[in-house]
Each structure stands twice: as C-alpha cells, then as structure tokens.
Amino acid sequence: MKYLVIYSSETGNTKKLANTIGESLGNNFDIAHVSMAPEPFSYDVLFVGYRLTSGSIDDNLKEYLSSIRGKKIFLFGTMGANPSSPYGGIIKKNIQNIFEQNNTVIGHFLCQGQISNGIMDKWFNLLEKTPDDLHALKQLENYKSALKHPNENDMLELRNLLIQCL
Ligand SMILES: Cc1cc2nc3c(=O)[nH]c(=O)nc-3n(C[C@H](O)[C@H](O)[C@H](O)COP(=O)(O)O)c2cc1C
C-alpha cells in the first residue's frame, strides 16, 4: 500500500493532524502541503486534510480535489467551532459530500483548532462596547475552548479512527 498525506494549513493546526497520521503510517507514505502535493494517481489511499474557511475547504484544496478520481480518501480537518455542535455536524456532512462525488471516503476526523486573533477582533471590539452581547460572549467562549485544540486527546481519537479505517 502506498499512502499520500496532503493537507491545507495556514496556522498549523491541520498540519499537526497530518504529522500524527504520518507517524501512524510507518514508512510507505509521502506527505506534503497541498500547494506542493504530487499527483495522486500512484497512491492507494489519500489522507486529505482541510482547514475550514468560511464554511468550506479553501481554493487550493478544491483545485487539487479536481484531480482526484476513484480513490479511497481518509478526510481530516480542523475548524474553529465545536465539531459536535449542530453547525459542526452540518459542515462535516457538507465537506464529506464534496469529496464523495468521485471518490470513496473511508474515514473522516474533524476536531477544533485554535482560531487566529484577527478573526476574533470584531467580537473583542463588540464586547468592549457591549459586554453583555450574548452572541459575542458565545464566540468568546468558543474561542477560549478552541485555544486548547488540537490536543493530545484529539490525536488519540485520530489514531484510533485510523486503526478502525485501515
Ligand atoms: C479566514 C478564516 C476563516 C475561517 N472560517 C471558519 C468557519 O467558517 N468556521 C469555523 O468553524 N472556523 C473557521 N475558521 C477557523 C479555522 O477553521 C481554524 O482556526 C482552523 O483550525 C485553522 O486551521 P490551520 O491552523 O490548519 O490553518 C476560519 C479561520 C480563518 C483564518
């Protein structure tokens, strides 16, 4: 079996998952950021990592995806929101649908990843003016929780899912 791990990651969260997958695969794999990814044709299983951006995968990954046909894919990703929330569930399903159009998804792992400060600025600013704004407070709570991810427990869950899927 020949494996390819590719990932899209801007602030490093998804890259951490990619490295954990690489460590679990032994020797027979290549790993690359999607911008430097080799052609997928000669690989038996692809591990494809996404960072959620504006509710979907980013353009680099979309472009790479168009070159993948008839492959077994293990999906993994990180998002700022809680993946166990109703929003997280919808996102996970939507992304899986994108990949399943021409391929078979053999596993899908999604966890929270810490959010860069710039994204939170509008909520921090709003809270300075209106400290009781419920939506902003919820965003702040989520931001604090995301700071702890991905963590060792996420990596353990990822490794366990890999064992089940391979
Ligand atoms: C421009 C931008 C858009 C984002 N959009 C979303 C989003 O729609 N939903 C969400 O839950 N998280 C969103 N996030 C948070 C990222 O998905 C999260 O921080 C992720 O772990 C980043 O992965 P990376 O470190 O591998 O780049 C966004 C982050 C950025 C920078």
Domain boundaries, the chain: 3-114+150-165, 115-148
Q: How would residue 156 be classed by pLDDT, with cut points 50, 70 and 90?
A: very high
Average pLDDT score, the chain = 95
CA angle 95, 62, 43 (to 5 degrees): 90
Given a cut of 90, is residue 69 above it in pLDDT? yes
Question: Measured from the CA of 79, which atom of ligand 1 is nearest?
Answer: 17
* Average pLDDT of span 99-126: 94
CA angle 165, 50, 21 (to 5 degrees): 40
| Span 117-149, pLDDT tens digits | 888 899 999 999 999 999 999 999 999 999 999
Query: How many angstroms separate the CA atoms of 75 and 19, rounded?
Result: 14
Please give the helix or strand (H or E) that residue 143 lies within, else none: helix 134-146
What pLDDT does residue 118 have? 87
Q: Is 3-114+150-165 CATH 3.40.50.360?
A: yes
Ligand 1 atom 2, closest CA? 53
Question: Measured from the CA of 78, which atom of ligand 1 is nearest?
Answer: 21
Is the C-beta atom of 116 inside 6 A of ligand 1? Answer: yes
Question: Measured from the CA of 88, which atom of ligand 1 is nearest?
Answer: 11
Burial group, residue 63, by CB count within 10 angstroms (0-12, 13-18, 19+) = exposed
